[in-house]
Structure 1
Amino acid sequence: MASPLGNGELAASERRKAAAAAGRRLAALLLLLRVAALCFALAAAAFAATDGAALRGSAAFRFLLAANAIVAAYSAFEVAAAAFELARAATLLPEALQLWFDFGHDQGFGYMALAAAAAAAAGRGAAAAACSGTMACLQADIAVGLGFAAFAFLALAALLSGFRLARFLLTGSRLPAPASPSSSAY
């Protein structure tokens, strides 16, 4: 017959459950940020791809299209990995490799999305005199704005993945460590 948990064992069990719940909330927030980055990058690529005049005349818009298509593909992979982690409470790759992969790629693809949006915005500024409020100009502006939004969500995901990586480096786990008891009863 199993003995009931003592006060110390019960408190430790509750701390482990609270730490696991905090880890699930963090993973859910990361999934939400990755879905948002996917949606904005895909929309930016779609708007840039359907603006034929901007694509023919501007290398910056071709860069915007390519960068956001790449960011959308990366984000789709990361959405799948984050959903897997949330469902199974385990990373797709070994934990250390997954955390470094997420952080490094969030940084790299985030800066690529930012550079593409900034280049396209600069190109739009140079062509503003030739563009007088036409639908193509509005579409180009929307593509640039969506590209910046994709960067913003990737930047937030990079902050969160950096936090998880720092936690892993300090504690050996991406999950929060259970809180230690503040005092023990004798």
Structure 2
Amino acid sequence: MASPLRNGDQAAAGGRRKESRRLGTLLLVLRVAALCFSLAAAVFAATDGAVLRLAPFRFLLAANAIVAVYSVFEVAAAAWEVAKGATLLPEALQLWFDFGHDQGFGYMALAAAAAAAREAALCGGGQERNISSTACLQGDIAVGLGFAAFAFLALAALATGFRLVRFLATGSRLPAGASSPY
């Protein structure tokens, strides 16, 4: 008669993959949201030339376009990981790459949105600005979308940071088994 499976055998490994897939799916959703919001912010910042005369809005456009391009690659990598169960790069490199770039691009998106928010607050004021209320509204929307893109990147950085810490503690991005001392 066969004995029941113990922790650490095949049955427990399926639970580890399920939890890893759940976190991978969450990362995929966060990356898709960051892509949508950063792309929308870039489009709103680019559609009116009046606000593009101001340097902070050009910075907002460039930063969100860069974040959107980065997010396209990260959405593809996250989809690959959810579908195949493996990372595109070696595991340690992929985890450090994701965490570092999420941090860097997130702070860039935040800096651009903050700089443009200051200009958006002053939009239309003064005689030298001569910007229409429609352009000011588009600038406000672009700033709001830029902050939303940052929020989703920050949440993705939190999730990738969790995966990185788990990798450093256990040697795997997958959750530790029940028999693990960690």
Q: CA deviation at 1:178?
A: 1.7
Distance 2:102 2:22 in 1: 19
Q: Runs of 5+ in structure 2 lacking a partner? A: none
Distance 1:44 1:176 in 2: 36
Distance 1:17 1:74 in 2: 32
Deviations 1:150-186 (A, max 9, x none): 00000000000000000000000001012129xxxxx
Contact 2:16 2:174 in 1 (8 A): yes
2:98 partner letter: D
Q: CA deviation at 1:9?
A: 4.2
Residue matched to 1:71: 67
Query: Residues 126 and 135 from structure 1, CA distance in 2 versus in 1: closer, same or farther, beyond 3 angstroms?
Result: closer
Residue matched to 1:88: 84
Contact 2:28 2:78 in 1 (8 A): yes
Query: Residues 10 and 147 from structure 1, CA distance in 2 versus in 1: closer, same or farther, beyond 3 angstroms?
Result: closer
Matched, 1:19 2:16: yes
Residue matched to 2:5: 8
Matched, 1:126 2:122: yes
Q: CA deviation at 1:30?
A: 0.3
Distance 1:101 1:136 in 2: 37
Identical aligned pairs, as a percentage? Answer: 69
Q: CA deviation at 1:87?
A: 0.7
Q: Runs of 5+ in structure 1 lacking a partner? A: 182-186
Q: CA deviation at 1:129?
A: 2.2
Paired residue for 1:102, among 77, 86, 98?
Answer: 98
Matches of residues 132-147 of structure 1 in structure 2 within 5 Å?
A: 134-147=133-146
Secondary structure of the corresponding residue to residue 7 of structure 1: coil
Q: CA deviation at 1:10?
A: 7.7
Secondary structure of the corresponding residue to residue 144 of structure 1: helix
